A and B are shown apart, each in its own frame.
Chain A
Amino acid sequence: MKQFRTDLHIHSVLSPCGDLDMSPARIIQQAVRCGIDILGISDHNSTHHCRLMMELGHENGIRILPGVEVNTKEEIHCLAFFENIEMVENFQDFLDLKLPDLYNDPQLFGQQLVVDRDENIINEIEVMLASGIRASIYEVSAEVHKRNGIFIPAHIDRPYTSILSQLGFIPPDLDFDALEVSARSRVVNFLGLHPEFGRYTLITNSDAHVPEAIGRATSLFVMKDTSFSEIKLALKKEGNRNVLCP
């Protein structure tokens, strides 16, 4: 078994809240500097930087886990990751059907920019990405798993837009692969307050919106390699695999 330093929650300039400095090129540069092995890209309700991130990751020796941070109907933020770009694009079709009929106001919420590898702006997304989509957390979980994806309710310790703030507790029949504890609380402290969460796989990530925040919280995945199937097994903690949050 090997250990892989993992940060799965990163917002690029595509997210309205993502800093203008968060181009895929800059994100990769910073991740290399931080010694990150596996990096997840998780913009709000959009996957349009996944392909470029995968290309740049490949060139720079970083395993990119392509995904998205979905905001559900209940306004619960959930991370979703997929095995390949085909599945990502297939999930983007689902998002396109469920995105709200609202337009972004960049002045109020921030720009939603798609850039190329040289940081040239190539598109600006008009639909509002910050809003909840027209699908419940159950529907989103099912749509992710239908595509063999990984589904992780995000920053569950946060007093807003988290599964605990919105639903009060984890619905016992919800199908998820792990729960994310935000960089604000260390997992060990969270477990001290909420020991009942010890039965779940917990991960922690930076939720970076600026380059300097990348890697401020990381998990250690203990597994054989960085393949998608190994990552899934690590989240299940099968066969001596594990996810550690030191």
Chain B
Amino acid sequence: MAVQPSPGGALERQQETSSLADVVGTILDKGVVIDIFARVSLVGIELLRVDARVVVASVDTYLRFAEKANRLQLGAREPEALADVVGDIAGAGSKGVSEGKTKGALEAGAQKLQDILNPDDDEAREPARPRRRQR
């Protein structure tokens, strides 16, 4: 089942969902629904919905694009460092949300995303409630 990367290595292959960002887009509000059964009202489900918010262009977006364009060194085509990308995500998550409670949770989400993006952190791949297992 394992697939080798292409020789050029341009394609990133993910056979297991490993980030919350991907999983939210993949499973939220998708799959079979049987209305007769309770859908459990999970405390965090609305926050997942916020994670899945559709990108809508706004003045904030425009100002961010302008800033990006200004920072850009023309001629220097270097891929953005992962740290910058994560910084952008954390910034975007806390921007434009006025309610303190939601904002805090969003920042926690961005933090979690940083944890998951950090490949050194094996714990990010473990579920919240590790089961006792026989060794």
Q: Do A and B make up one complex?
A: no
